[in-house]
């Protein structure tokens, strides 16, 4: 759901999940952490700008981690939270190349501006040099 809801909207969304889910039903939520891990200088700068732009719009940049707390407040049982790290760049093989492509294609939309080709090349180099990765968080909740 990456950056679709504000801080105030998330409790309402989870309340709606709770309302429509049958008793005993499960819901699995998959969210990408909005902070790249092991970043180089250019990637750090872009990631910082991205997170700042989301915060200015009152968007929870740590929703992937905060899902469990919001689910508990909405009345769900003890959530099961886990994450998997996914490589970014050539160093990560096929999956790493796909993730790199996705991130580079999303940058202009996420930052709200044109990203120069040389910037993309620097980021690609940093992904491989620093062995960057993203964490994808899964939260499974149950209505009791």
Distance CA 22, CA 42 (A): 47
Residue 1 has pLDDT above 80, yes or no: no
pTM of the predicted model, to two decimals?
0.87
Can you state the angle between helices 9-20 and 63-73, rounded to 10 degrees?
60
Is residue 131 a contact partner of residue 86, using CB atoms and an 8 Å limit? no
Q: Which of the residue ranges 3-12, 26-35, 108-117 would you say has the lowest mean pLDDT?
A: 108-117
Average pLDDT over residues 24-38: 94
Q: What is the pLDDT of residues 63-90, one digit of tens each?
A: 999 999 999 999 999 899 999 999 999 9
The residue extents of the domains of the chain are 9-142
pLDDT category of residue 18 using cuts at 50, 70 and 90? very high
């Amino acid at each position: 759901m990456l950056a679709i809801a504000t801080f105030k909207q998330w409790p309402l969304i989870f309340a709606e999940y709770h309302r429509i889910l049958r008793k005993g039903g499960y819901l699995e939520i998959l969210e990408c952490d909005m902070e790249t891990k092991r970043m180089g200088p250019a990637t750090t700068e872009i990631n910082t700008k991205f997170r700042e732009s989301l915060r200015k719009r009152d968007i929870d940049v740590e929703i992937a981690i905060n899902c469990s707390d919001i689910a508990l407040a909405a009345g769900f049982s003890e959530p099961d939270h886990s994450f998997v790290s996914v490589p970014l760049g050539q160093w990560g093989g096929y999956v790493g190349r796909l993730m790199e492509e996705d991130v580079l294609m999303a940058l202009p939309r996420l930052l709200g501006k044109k990203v120069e080709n040389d910037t993309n090349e620097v980021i690609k180099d940093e992904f491989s040099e620093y062995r960057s990765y993203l964490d994808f968080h899964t939260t499974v909740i149950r209505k009791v």
